[in-house]
């Protein structure tokens, strides 16, 4: 009897542990709706989605609208890790979580070109 309970407990614990491990590994799924609150600061430089910056003659800011979500995500991760070295984008990306980046990437990937 005791052994059975012990076995059941082990099985349950194992299942929970596996679930937790899976949850940690899974990349966050981007939610475009959640991005709305997060892109306010991006708009200042990247402009209205689909457009270039408000000040193209001052310095070039890449267009994000219509970009592949995977590309935007990868670019943000690269700024955060320092692989890409642009100072303002590094500062911005360092304040974004993986979930933020996934949401923002999904948003920009979904807007018209």
- Chain positions contacting ligand HEC, by CB under 6 A: 39, 41-42, 44-46, 61-62, 64, 72, 75-76, 84, 86, 88-89, 92, 104
Question: Cβ 75 to ligand HEC, closest distance in Å?
Answer: 4
Tell me the two tokens of residue 11: 């099985």
Task: Find the shortest distance in angstroms from Cβ 95 to ligand HEC.
Answer: 8
Closest CA to 107 of 56, 34, 1: 34
Shortest distance, position 13 Cβ to ligand HEC, whole Å? 40
The residue (of 2 and 59) whose beta carbon lies closer to ligand HEC is 59
Q: How far apart are the first and last CA of the chain?
A: 66
| Burial bucket for residue 34 (CB in 10 Å: 0-12, 13-18, 19+) | middle
Judged by CB, which is closer to ligand HEC: 14, or 56? 56
Q: Which of 82, 4, 8, 76 is nearest to 38 (CA)?
A: 76
Of 76 and 102, the one with the shorter C-beta distance to ligand HEC is 76
């Amino acid at each position: 009897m005791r052994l059975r309970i012990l076995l059941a407990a082990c099985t349950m614990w194992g299942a929970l542990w596996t679930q937790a491990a899976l949850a940690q590994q899974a990349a966050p799924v981007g939610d475009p709706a959640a991005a709305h609150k997060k892109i306010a600061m991006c708009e200042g430089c990247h402009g209205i989605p689909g457009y270039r910056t408000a000040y193209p003659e001052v310095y070039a800011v890449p267009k994000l609208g219509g970009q592949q979500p995977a590309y935007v995500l990868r670019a943000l991760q690269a700024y955060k890790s320092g692989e890409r070295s642009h100072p303002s984008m590094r500062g911005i990306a360092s304040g974004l979580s993986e979930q933020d980046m996934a949401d923002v990437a999904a948003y920009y990937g979904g807007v018209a070109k």
